[in-house]
Structure 1
Amino acid sequence: MDKDIAIDLLKLIDESFKDKNSKSEILRRDIELLKSGKATYKEVNDLAIEVGQNLSHSINEFVTAKSLPNEKMYFNISNRLMNHTLKNNYDIVTGYASDVQNQLNQVANLHLKAQVPDFNQEKVKGLVERLTAAETFDDIKWILDEPLVTFTQSIVDDSIQKNVEFQAKAGLQPRITRTVVGKPCDWCKNLAGSYSYNKAPDDIYRRHERCRCVVDYNPGDGRKQNVWTKDWK
């Protein structure tokens, strides 16, 4: 019986990933800001980028054409690799995002629990299918770089969207802000701005590869608006 290399690869990747995270100044700073009650979704986004990059570096450290059978990423390997590592990133990011959200709710005098988005299995499935479909690993290895960072950032965007929609349905008036970073493209420039929930662009939570835009939001002051009378209380 052929050796199951996925087990050994995942062990090596996990060890490298944990080591990189433990030595990260960015993650250490984000944790300290959370402890002091000063973390926002900007820190959640920074954490997601760092975790995504650390994962990409750890995977590329051990997953190479030579480490794979016939220099190809077969389904049984890609499926376990992507689901295991990206679910781990999901747990890290949603855990931190929930803590930040609960603090924001408390500051806004909202007695609401942070909402957690579902793990986006469809996106993972898409990555697995593309890795598996390639003739050789070298043809598709780029997908283990920036796309993993973008996926991890999308967890932040999903977290914001989940909480914004939940609070809007509760009668609150959350405000969403998208800020460009670096040298943005025209598409990102057009999305930049601060919006009330019902006036936000449809693409406010979307991002392209290598996009570093920051999506943030303010839950408001805890007041609710009666949808019929428009009175605040």
Structure 2
Amino acid sequence: MVTIVENDIVPALLETISKEFDEKTYSSLKLKKALTLLKNKQATYLDVNEFAVEIGEILASVLDANITVSILPDGKMYFNIADRILNSTMAKNHELISNFAVDVQTNLNHAAGLKLKGQKPELNQDRIDGLVNRLSSGESFDDIKWLLDEPLINFSQSIADDAIKRNVDFHFESGLQPKITRRLSGHACDWCKSLAGTYDYPANVPEDLYRRHERCRCTVEYNPKDSRGVQNSHSKKWRAQKQQEKTEQRKLMNIKSRQA
């Protein structure tokens, strides 16, 4: 059951959040550095990850400054408030990070001699919905306000990872042999150490390659220049199969056209 509060604080709150978020992103030195690297065609997925972390941290700081127990009805984060605020702000994070990732991937593709545009990952709506439900389930905002900190940063990092997933899959289907690397960051735990390394996609990629625990800053990277090479028998078979499917589909369409 959705609880509707009489005093709608969301429009004014969203306006303030959006304004402060824009101001902080515009003045961020880390984001300016990332955009300069992109302009010079020197950015990699390490920069995409740093870009994502910075965007996530900025959003978390803005929400922390503007959403407090004192402004919430009964000191609670009701569903209709959480739903509108998080869907708006997290979708904006996705747009900023995914667009940056697309441009980085496009540059990496061109540098590897591939005339391919970077592929944009879809918004993970399930993850947003899950966070909204958790936020609105707390009796007091103080009990669950931590959800507007690290989980938002983790979500932002996952956008960079989703971009890699999308492009690696696209490149594999195009006949390349992608290699994905997970690197450690800081004082990594044993679990993260067990995932570090470079893997051939898709056969050798660990199931948990993209997973992160709280405050994990390990990175997942992909560069298509490492995927160029002689096509193996699997990729040749795949392309031949796809070509055959297209031929059969055209034949079927011609038959239907003559029967019409």
Structure 1-normalised TM-score?
0.95
- The amino acid across from 1:80 in the alignment is R
Larger Rg: 2
1:195-214 alignment to 2 at 5 Å?
195-197=199-201, 198-214=203-219
1:1-233 alignment to 2 at 5 Å?
2-197=6-201, 198-219=203-224, 220=226, 222-223=228-229, 225-227=231-233
Alignment gaps of 5+ in structure 1 = none
- The amino acid across from 1:172 in the alignment is L
- Deviation, structure 1 residue 222: 3.9
Distance (Å, rounded) in 1 between the aligned partners of 2:97 and 2:26: 15
Distance (Å, rounded) in 1 between the aligned partners of 2:154 and 2:30: 18
Alignment gaps of 5+ in structure 2 = 238-260
Task: String of CA shifts for 1:135-170, please: whole Å, max 9, x gaps.
Answer: 011110000011000000000001001111111121
Distance (Å, rounded) in 2 between the aligned partners of 1:188 and 1:20: 31
Task: String of CA shifts for 1:15-39, please: whole Å, max 9, x gaps.
Answer: 1111111111100000000011100
Distance (Å, rounded) in 2 between the aligned partners of 1:229 and 1:165: 12
Distance (Å, rounded) in 2 between the aligned partners of 1:137 and 1:47: 29
**Structure 1 segments of 4 or more deviating over 2 A?**
220-224, 226-231
More helix by share: 2
Task: String of CA shifts for 1:183-210, please: whole Å, max 9, x gaps.
Answer: 1111110000111112121111111221
- The amino acid across from 2:95 in the alignment is D
- Deviation, structure 1 residue 227: 2.9
Which piece of structure 1 moves more, 161-170 or 200-209?
A: 200-209
Give me the CA root mean square deviation.
1.6
Decide whether aligned partners of structure 1 residues 228 and 76 sit closer, same or farther in structure 2, where only a CA change above 3 A counts. closer
Which piece of structure 1 moves more, 99-108 or 222-231?
A: 222-231
- Deviation, structure 1 residue 228: 5.2
- Deviation, structure 1 residue 221: 5.6
Distance (Å, rounded) in 1 between the aligned partners of 2:77 and 2:110: 47
Which piece of structure 1 moves more, 157-166 or 202-211?
A: 202-211
- The amino acid across from 1:215 in the alignment is V
What secondary structure, in the 3-state scheme, does the structure 1 residue paired with 2:103 have?
A: helix
Paired positions, count:
231
What secondary structure, in the 3-state scheme, does the structure 2 residue paired with 1:66 have?
A: helix
Structure 2-normalised TM-score?
0.85
Distance (Å, rounded) in 2 between the aligned partners of 1:30 and 1:228: 37
